[in-house]
Structure 1
Amino acid sequence: MKFGVIVFPGSNCDRDLATVTEGLLHQPTRMIWHQDTDISDIDVIVLPGGFSYGDYLRCGAIARFSSVMRSVIEHANQGKLVLGICNGFQVLTEVGLLPGALIRNRDLHFICDRVPVRVENNQLPWTKKYTSQQVITLPVAHGEGRYYGDEDTIKELEDNHQIVFRYCNLLGEITEDSNPNGSLSNIAGISNKQGNILGMMPHPERASDPLIRATEGRILFEGLLV
């Protein structure tokens, strides 16, 4: 399984991802500069967190026009795997590979914390090593992570089981108090209908190393290797 990590100007989690895929899981990994266009050798494309293009205009709005994104869209349309984490999730919504949008957090503050999330759909390549309704703890770090979609979009996500992760409390209960940013339906991560594209605001790569006693995010990557 060969991973490709897109590097935009301002990306700051690209090396974190390579540390997991190459350093911990021993999978070939290529850092892909945003102006590159040939990604034909890659099995899994990952769009990392950070501040692509300084988040000018709005998060992900400029990155969507990077040369590499045309290749990412083609990669996704072929049914190959694409993962967007935090800013990467924002880019995927901007480019139209995932529905909805990520807007300013409810309290208009940047959030940096560890939060519980519940696995809503464990039938995807990304989540097949989790159990249904499993509660895991992952780091979050974002100022514009509040998922928004119109009523029809939310209904479609629910009906098609595209909501992959929800913010919850430690008991797995979906409550307003357990929603750190005001996302509709406590959404922390969604997929496309086919399930090959995943966008999520929490950072699984920051919970993947036994040295920091946090490995629940690593399971997401391991599921791709089965």
Structure 2
Amino acid sequence: MLSVKNIRCSYGNIEVLKGISLKVEEGQIVALIGANGAGKTTTLKAISGILPITSGSITINNVDISREKPYNMVKHRMSQVPEGRQVFPELSVLDNLLLGGYAIKDKKCVNDRIDNMLEFFPRLRERAKQHAGTLSGGEQQMLAIARALVSDPKLLLMDEPSMGLSPKLVGEVFDIIVDLKNQGITILLVEQNAHMALNIADYAYVIQTGEIVISGTGHDMSANDEVRKAYLSE
């Protein structure tokens, strides 16, 4: 479904991605793990067009999206849940969800999808008229996921969905991720909680200073001594 081949990206004169290659097959959860500053979020920004690549290629379903604008990514059935949730705090939960359907002209379709999201996330239905900024961290994360799903993506990019959440809420969010996979959504997951990520991942990559250094199935990576020592606190 998604193929990233030898991409490079720079911030000014500093190269931050140094030939990243990875694949995400349809129906998989693929995890990208690594330390702070390793290039995880930058990789997602490159895939979604937020940060231009200087070389390499990115394709989705064999269509080259290497130079696509971020706002056009929904045409390729791709959506992103950004790091830090980035909900619009002064807008209501419902208005945040409506923004998720900005590219869809059929208003009934948007409303139907929002209704589906409120069924999937009943806590959001209870708070539909509240300002998003008044929600708890876990509820804001649910809203960010629901907003991304309104566009009906086949590929979902998720950036640090467990950040700042209590252990109980982290478990809930990861249960949601597995539910989404079971509904047929393919997921590229960037996550610092390596233990949780590898537990649900079909495949995983470790990124270090802008380069992929290890890859394998989630199970194999969990058993890899180097990964365990560096990322699983063992």
- TM-score (structure 1 length as normaliser): 0.34
**Bigger CA radius of gyration:** 2
Question: If each structure's helix is expressed as a fraction of its own residues, which one has the higher value?
Answer: 2
- TM-score (structure 2 length as normaliser): 0.33
